[in-house]
A and B are shown apart, each in its own frame.
Chain A
Amino acid sequence: MKILLVFIIHFTLFAEDKTALIKVTGMTCPMCTTAIKKSLKKVDGVIKAKVKLNTAVATVTFREKVTQGQLLKAIADVGYKGEFISVK
């Protein structure tokens, strides 16, 4: 008996996630970090966001489809200004 085995292996290729460091100006208190973090996480494709008051830096991990403009807008929407330090 001959059996033809056909394996169909489906690979879904994900683009690599990116991580951005964004300098945030205008933060005055710890609550500011929560507001920015929540706003960034609302962006479809943002996986993780961390904001530190003492360094005034937001670290955002996001899918490739997310634009830098979307991240800056999310920060601006809650009253702060963002400036990219790096994207990897």
Chain B
Amino acid sequence: MPLHNMYQKVKFFKYSGNFDASHINRKNIYDAQILYAQWHASDTSKQLTIEMEIETLDRSVSLKKIKKASQANLPVPEDVRLYLQPTTHIPTDGKVALKTMEITKGITDRFQKVEAIYNWITETTFRDPSIVGCGVGHAGKMIESGYFGGKCTDISSLFVAFLRSAGIPAREVFGIRVGKSHFSKILGKSDKHGFADISTWQHCRVEYYIPGAGWIPSDPADITKLELGEGLKYSDQRVQELKKRYLHSWEMNWIGFNHGRDFVLYPEPEQYPLNMLGYPYGEIEDEVLDYYSPKHFSYRITSQELGLK
């Protein structure tokens, strides 16, 4: 289910279908809001329809505010400390720690560390179109293998792993593109009526936390997507422009769902832990439905831009 916050307001959310039971819960360590539906075995086609209206606002935190807060070097609040912890796919020790130390050598200021890591990530990683979906997001494997090609979850996870290793709270934000980007059609598009079939437009972004400035939006993966999609080099002006913006902002033709990594849903599914929840998740008995394939699962997600109200 979508996040409800300052940059993304859920105006309404409703669901219907021929399920035998359903409920909404937040019973997981990431406080992710989950819609659960269950069907008994039958020959009937199982259906669930979700409708939601969401108002989004482009999101940016001023560099002046971030730098000032960073210089104050305030303690990390208790409720944010979860996002300093390693998970199965986001290790913060070993080679990850060594690489983080190498990238941030001689830097003590939190935000300057973020900048150094962001520069390394955007320059070193590249979009690998052969990766299925958004990628698994296995930061440990990337650093072990030395192969830095991936998709948005892979690149975001590596960024998060380095940041956490540097003592900066960080998290992936799993979501979906919902329409036209004003920067590049590579980063989202819709038809002339503002409609789009977004069934395969899942996209993972990042937030990092500077005490005093709060959670700050970032999106290193879209830098690599722009390079590949528009055939640009890292040094090209448009790439550098987006890189500058996406250190501390998001264009909001996108909806965020949750921050969960390597966690267990409720009720406990047959297969767990779930490495991320960026797609609809379904099981028939003990078999996981292919969430990377809307056609086979099957699901369809569409968006309609309503404009300003």
Binding site for B on A (CB under 8 A): 28-31, 33-34, 37, 50, 52-54
For B281, the closest partner residue in chain A by CB is A30
B136 pairs with A30, CB closer than 8 A: no
B286 lies within 8 A of chain A by Cβ: yes
Nearest-neighbour CB distance to chain B for A26, whole angstroms, equals: 10
Q: How far is the CA of A31 from the CA of B136 in the complex (A)?
A: 10
Known: A28-B138, A31-B292. A53 touches B273 (CB 8 A): yes
Binding site for A on B (CB under 8 A): 89, 136, 138, 269-276, 281, 286-292
B89 pairs with A28, CB closer than 8 A: yes
**A-chain residues with CB within 8 Å of residue B288 when the two chains form the complex:** 30-31, 33-34
Contact of B290 among A34, A37, A52 (CB under 8 A): A34
A54 pairs with B275, CB closer than 8 A: no
Q: What is the predominant secondary structure among interface residues of chain A facing chain B?
A: mixed
**B-chain residues with CB within 8 Å of residue A54 when the two chains form the complex:** 271-273
B287 pairs with A37, CB closer than 8 A: yes
Q: How far is the CA of A28 from the CA of B132 in the complex (A)?
A: 13
B286 pairs with A50, CB closer than 8 A: yes
Q: How far is the CA of A65 from the CA of B136 in the complex (A)?
A: 36
Further contacts, 18 of them, CB under 8 A, given A30-B281, A34-B288? A28-B138, A28-B275, A29-B136, A29-B274, A30-B271, A30-B272, A30-B274, A30-B288, A31-B291, A31-B292, A33-B286, A37-B287, A52-B271, A53-B271, A53-B272, A54-B271, A54-B272, A54-B273
